[in-house]
Structure 1
Amino acid sequence: MNGWHLKLLATGLLLLHLADSQALQNPAVLLFGATLTDARAFAVEHASRRGWSIREVTANAALFEQVLDGEETDAILVVQRLLRIRAEFAEESDGVRVSLRAEEVEWPETDREWMADVTGRYADNLANALSSLRAKWDAWRGNSASLPNAPSSRFHGGVPPDSSRMAAEPIGTWAYAAERYAQSRGCELTERATQLESNGQDWERHWVFCRDGSRISVRCRYGDCTTGP
């Protein structure tokens, strides 16, 4: 084997090592007792309830999006920057492990598109989202196990039943941005989903619920948030 082939092999091994290291660093959580179908459906439902757009769902992954910046031109929202979260599902002996990876995309689906991995920057937010997902899964699983003659299929059509969705509350496009702003003001998020209070053509007002029992009114315009009146 000549020097060029050795260098090529070394480069390939390094890239493989970096990819494996990155996968290990991505925030992850185990949903005990879940099947792959259950975990995927539950995660998609959870993300939808939190205000995320569902871009793509495959057998072992799901892709969620949230607009961060944009402007309206001729009544059409032109997205300038969005946050994209990729959830990956891996079966294990005790359940399914869900891992998350974050990516910011500028000028999506244009010839100016540019993206960057921001998993590290959003690590705390991703960990909180996974903790919330597991708590809701554990609660649903516990309630399901206590029901007499519970059917063996957890979800009908791959979607959690209404009883697992908590109280129906309106959500908004920029709920996640509102939560990030509230956290910057010292709010420690609870398991309760952020609630859309009101909205207009290019703005939303949210209630973000904090662990100390308080709630913060946050107004967002194209993902740019401030404390609401």
Structure 2
Amino acid sequence: MMRLFNPFTVLICSLLLTTSCATHPPAPDNALPDLTGLPQTLLAGATLEQARSVALANARTKGWTPVDSRPECVVLERELARNSPQAQALGPQHQQLPPRIRVETHFRPQADGVLVALRAFIISHPRDAEMQHLDYTTDYQVPLQASLAALQQEWQTGARPPVMPPTSTAAPDPSPAERPHADVQLTPPVTPPRQPTAAPPVVNRPSPPPNPAPAVAKPASPAPAHTVPALPPPERRPPVPVTALPPPAAPLPTSGLIPTPAPITNSVNETNPMLALNQNQPGLWAYYAEQYARTHGCTLTDNGAMLREKTISYELHTVPCADGRAFLLKCQGGVCQMAQ
């Protein structure tokens, strides 16, 4: 009896355990994430739709692709640069299928505007069964803060609707008693037809006294007639022979003289993997280097970051501190780190 009862007991216990897991209330899907400690900024006076529109427009200009859009969150992705330190740290197995970087932009309405917070991830093995999400928010702290500063500046300068000038209010018309000419209408005056002017009266001059009879004058001799000599007939000249012009010379070849302009490509700079300002802007990497030194307990001097070396793929900066220390930083792919 004990051998027959044990299997039934185990079956009943299993059913009870399964029923208790199924009745456990699941976590709500619409729970908002905690934004404490994330890089964030407040767009003062903005609505939720305005904040999302400005953030999406700013992201598209920097080459990001929206992959998910909800009222309180916009997910952006782009391919991570192969020569970036983050991609190289994942190993050579990601060369055929490069990793991607993902930025979650969270919007939280407040009483005085909309709070915008950013969170960064690196996705290894994208579109694969081994896909992993690695949180890189702390490593990308400085570029994320720069992105929020650019978003704040764009909201303050270009996102607000233009302020229309106040319309001028016309003064009220005075009452008929106050108007000096109340019966004058605002119509062009009619010009009366011109009347023919009367001729001035003719004043008869007094007749001169009678003159004595003039003496008979001698007839004057006629003046000699002036004769014009006849012009000689024009001299005939031989006709001028018409000669044909030589044919124009063949045009010189210009293929070797004028270089062919290079095609214009609208490509996105792959060395800047973050939603940040243009890395070709002068002084941007120096700003990143100074931010790195501040986060590591350095009090900057008046000299600030000094450029030591600049190549196509990275820049080398020295940041002196007030206590005598100095940071030698290598800025590449959106991240500044200590030079090896």
TM-score bracket for this pair, using the shorter chain length = 0.5 to 0.7
Provide, for residues 103-160 of structure 1, a one-character-per-residue CA deviation record: whole Å limited to 9, x for no partner: 0001112112112111000011100000000001000246x343348xxxxxxxxxxx
Match of 2:272 in 1: 176
Match of 2:142 in 1: 124
Question: Matches of residues 1-229 of structure 1 in structure 2 within 5 Å?
Answer: 20=34, 23-69=35-81, 79-141=97-159, 144-148=161-165, 170=266, 172=268, 174=270, 176-177=272-273, 193=278, 208-211=280-283, 218=312
Match of 2:291 in 1: none
Q: Structure 1's 115 and 211: CA in aligned 2 closer, same or farther, altered over 3 A?
A: same
Rounded Cα–Cα distance in structure 1 between residues aligned with 2:99 and 2:159:
37
Rounded Cα–Cα distance in structure 2 between residues aligned with 1:31 and 1:133:
9
Query: What's the RMSD between the two structures over aligned residues?
Result: 3.8
Contact kept? 1:66, 1:176, Cα under 8 Å:
no
DSSP-derived class of the 1:103 partner: strand
DSSP-derived class of the 1:131 partner: helix
Give the letter for the 2:109 counterpart.
E
Rounded Cα–Cα distance in structure 2 between residues aligned with 1:145 and 1:217:
42
Q: What stretches of structure 2 of length at least 5 have no aligned partner? A: 1-32, 83-94, 167-264, 285-309, 315-331, 334-340
Contact kept? 1:51, 1:175, Cα under 8 Å:
no
Across the two proteins, how many residue pairs are aligned to each other? 157
Q: Structure 1's 172 and 45: CA in aligned 2 closer, same or farther, altered over 3 A?
A: same
Rounded Cα–Cα distance in structure 1 between residues aligned with 2:59 and 2:271:
11
Higher helix fraction: Structure 1 or Structure 2? 1
Which 4+ runs in 1 deviate beyond 3 A?
Answer: 216-220
Give the letter for the 1:209 counterpart.
Q
* Greater Cα radius of gyration, structure 1 or 2: 2
DSSP-derived class of the 1:25 partner: coil
Q: What stretches of structure 1 of length at least 5 have no aligned partner? A: 1-18, 71-76, 150-168, 181-188, 195-207
Higher strand fraction: Structure 1 or Structure 2? 1
Provide, for residues 142-182 of structure 1, a one-character-per-residue CA deviation record: whole Å limited to 9, x for no partner: 6x343348xxxxxxxxxxxxxxxxxxx945162623x89xx
Rounded Cα–Cα distance in structure 2 between residues aligned with 1:48 and 1:96:
20
Offset, 1:36? 0.2
Rounded Cα–Cα distance in structure 1 between residues aligned with 2:43 and 2:139:
24
Rounded Cα–Cα distance in structure 2 between residues aligned with 1:171 and 1:35:
33
Provide, for residues 20-50 of structure 1, a one-character-per-residue CA deviation record: whole Å limited to 9, x for no partner: 4xx2111000111111001001101101111
Contact kept? 1:67, 1:173, Cα under 8 Å:
no
